[in-house]
């Protein structure tokens, strides 16, 4: 009797990001999958014949070696064979997903790793910073570029005059919808300004960055 998987439980999904792997790492993964599925009683009818799969992997391995000399034909042949073996591995991954009956212990014998069903909660943003601060195209302009922070949805940039005694004047702020370049105009040439940035994420704002001081030209 087959037990129906509860709708409350997410189905096991195989990690199929083969395209991101370098050739040597991909080759290891392919052979591991082939070894795991060969004569595996839990997966008796794989959608790709194991002998054909091994032949395709062996061919890919040989073409990888041929491509090392930099020949265009060899490189092209290796790329085509790479696409083929990835397609075969992907088909097998979907087969293992379906045939394991959502049993992780059985799934793990199929040579694939499962995608995590656990959602990563939002994390506090790392400190914001500027990628660069530079003079603008016109007199009295300063251009700034903030550093991209994963998870940030917006950035606040502010500036103020840096007085000779080290104090700062009134801050003027600008909100950016992304890590874009911002231009501040109508500044006083020869005056030193302090610039700060903070990032906005799902948990709120990061702290303001340390000041970056710049003399307007």
Q: Give me 12's structure tokens.
A: 């096991």
Query: Helix or strand or coil: residue 146?
Result: strand
Is 111 in contact with 36 (CB distance < 8 Å)? yes
Q: Give me 35's structure tokens.
A: 């070894």
Is 26 in contact with 88 (CB distance < 8 Å)? no
- What gap in Å lies between CA 88 and CA 94, rounded to an integer? 10
* Count of other CB atoms within 10 angstroms of residue 52: 10
Q: What is the mean pLDDT of each run of 10 residues along the chain (217 residues)?
A: 48 92 95 96 96 97 91 93 97 96 95 80 84 95 94 94 94 92 94 96 92 95
Q: Based on C-alpha coordinates, what's the Rg of the chain?
A: 28
Query: Helix or strand or coil: residue 22?
Result: coil
Q: Where are the domains of the chain?
A: 18-110, 130-215
Pick the CATH number of 130-215 from 3.40.80.10, 3.40.1350.10, 2.60.40.10, 3.40.50.300: 2.60.40.10
Q: What b-and-e string marks burial along 126-165, b requiring 16 or more CB atoms within 10 Å of the CB? A: eebebeebeebeeeebbbbbbbebeebeebbbbbbbbeee
Angle ∠(56,57,63) on CA atoms, nearest 5: 90
Is 43 in contact with 96 (CB distance < 8 Å)? yes
pLDDT at 122: 72
- What gap in Å lies between CA 23 and CA 26, rounded to an integer? 5
- What gap in Å lies between CA 215 and CA 193, rounded to an integer? 6
pLDDT at 69: 84
pLDDT at 126: 83
């Amino acid at each position: 009797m087959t037990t129906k998987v509860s709708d409350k439980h997410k189905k096991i999904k195989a990690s199929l990001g083969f395209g991101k792997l370098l050739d040597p790492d991909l080759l290891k993964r392919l052979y591991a999958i082939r070894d795991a599925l060969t004569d595996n009683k839990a997966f008796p009818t794989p959608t790709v014949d194991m002998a054909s799969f091994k032949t395709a992997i062996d061919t890919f391995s040989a073409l990888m070696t041929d491509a090392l000399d930099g020949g265009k034909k060899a490189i092209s042949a290796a790329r085509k064979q790479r696409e083929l073996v990835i397609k075969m591995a992907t088909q097998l991954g979907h087969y293992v997903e379906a045939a394991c009956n959502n049993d992780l212990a059985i799934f793990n014998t199929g040579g694939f790793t499962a995608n995590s069903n656990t959602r990563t909660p939002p994390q506090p943003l790392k400190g914001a910073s500027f990628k660069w601060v530079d003079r603008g195209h016109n007199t009295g302009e300063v251009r700034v570029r903030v550093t991209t922070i994963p998870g940030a949805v917006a950035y606040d940039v502010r500036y103020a005059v840096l007085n000779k005694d080290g104090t700062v004047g009134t801050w003027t702020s600008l909100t950016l919808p992304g890590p874009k370049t911002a231009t501040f105009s109508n500044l006083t040439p020869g005056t030193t300004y302090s610039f700060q940035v903070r990032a906005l994420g799902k948990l709120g704002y990061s702290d303001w960055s340390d000041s970056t001081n710049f003399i307007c030209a």
